[in-house]
Structure 1
């Protein structure tokens, strides 16, 4: 007769402890660090015509995990003025590569998370926020790092018109630890004020 109320009390206590743990460990969302490169005399060819978004050469085959990042890039390109088209008829191609990884509180990288697409387009600059244990009263959190690189090329000649790289790091209890939210955030930051200044690195704040 008394087993059920006791069970409910235990569930309530567990929920309360979880809520307190959440308060002791607020979500951490770092800024997105963005670097863009613009080819000389390419500005009049950007944000116009047709484009096809694809996985960058040398990366792993397409996967469901990579799809949200390609979709987010495509949305931003359409917003800028491009029209999506099949590869056969597109004027330009946007090649996307992504890496997501977890870093433990001790700063040790634990390996890929959700997406592990190899082949970097180059140095991503500093790794601000990545691999740092965050202690806000409830112990350090595991951090999730995301890096994305996009190259926009002329499909016929292969010439690179534009290249952008973005990275940011969030705690594992941030809503941006989710792949879809992460993809939207990095893509929006990457294409903000497109095409950007050649070689310039900026930081874009993400609202938690």
Structure 2
């Protein structure tokens, strides 16, 4: 009879790893055969979307994460001055409930889906505003990364967005961690199936 408590304690000791696992990243991509053919594999400049705080540390972290994934996946070789661009949009906000969010939000500017195949607004632009995102022990942080690959004329060739929700006090809420996770999930299996939303863990 004394073995049962021991087994229970062992199970409890293993439980935190499952409880603390990062929440999945939801990813959606949009493209057409014609735009993918035009995309090719040449050099590309990674830029913040209009309205972003280009001097913000958080902005640079997300730009670097996107550039690293473009290069790692052989999608494009990032570099300054290339006519094609990877336009990066980021929104971070405090979620105080299952759906409701607090008014504190980081991000302004245009919505996702502004290219040849508009599909609804999915968030704002920019980071680096010096405000705290913490909202109490139960607060969650929603982070959304949206990237549009454009040709030299500015036409959209591929669009994708990745978002996740994590506890505001957890390691997964750190800018570097979430930027890497979202960028990696967004370009996993590039170009992805157009219009399909998947979960990446």
Query: Same fold per TM (> 0.5)?
Result: yes
CA RMSD of aligned residues (A): 2.4
| Counterpart position of 2:85 | 93
| Counterpart position of 1:42 | 35
Deviation at 1:46, TM superposition (A): 3.7
Which of 147, 168, 175 in structure 2 is aligned with 1:172?
168
Which of 64, 67, 71 in structure 1 is aligned with 2:64?
71
Which of 72, 83, 91 in structure 1 is aligned with 2:77?
83
| Counterpart position of 2:126 | none
Q: What is the CA–CA distance in structure 1 between the aligned matches of 2:39 and 2:138, rounded to whole Å?
A: 41
Q: Deviations over 1:78-122 (max 9, x none)?
A: 1122212212xx14100001011112258442413xx53433213
Q: Deviations over 1:149-207 (max 9, x none)?
A: 1000002x2221100011110012321110010000000010010001111111112xx
Moved more, 73-82 or 186-195: 73-82
- Contact 2:93–2:101 (Cα < 8 Å) also in 1: no
Q: What are structure 1's unaligned runs of at least 5 residues?
A: 1-22, 126-138
Q: What is the CA–CA distance in structure 2 between the aligned matches of 1:173 and 1:61, rounded to whole Å?
A: 24
| Counterpart position of 1:136 | none
| Counterpart position of 2:189 | 193
Q: Deviations over 1:19-59 (max 9, x none)?
A: xxxx7xx54632111110013323234461100000112x2
TM-score (norm 2): 0.72
Q: What is the CA–CA distance in structure 1 between the aligned matches of 2:155 and 2:101, rounded to whole Å?
A: 38
- Contact 1:120–1:149 (Cα < 8 Å) also in 2: no
Q: Does 1:202 align with 2:185?
A: no
Q: What is the CA–CA distance in structure 1 between the aligned matches of 2:174 and 2:103, rounded to whole Å?
A: 17
| Counterpart position of 2:144 | 147
With over 3 angstroms needed to count, the CA separation of the structure-2 counterparts of 1:123 and 1:79, relative to structure 1, is same
Runs of 4 or more, structure 1, over 6 Å off, are none
Q: What is the CA–CA distance in structure 2 between the aligned matches of 1:192 and 1:86, rounded to whole Å?
A: 24
| Counterpart position of 2:8 | none
- Contact 2:26–2:197 (Cα < 8 Å) also in 1: yes
- Contact 1:98–1:116 (Cα < 8 Å) also in 2: yes
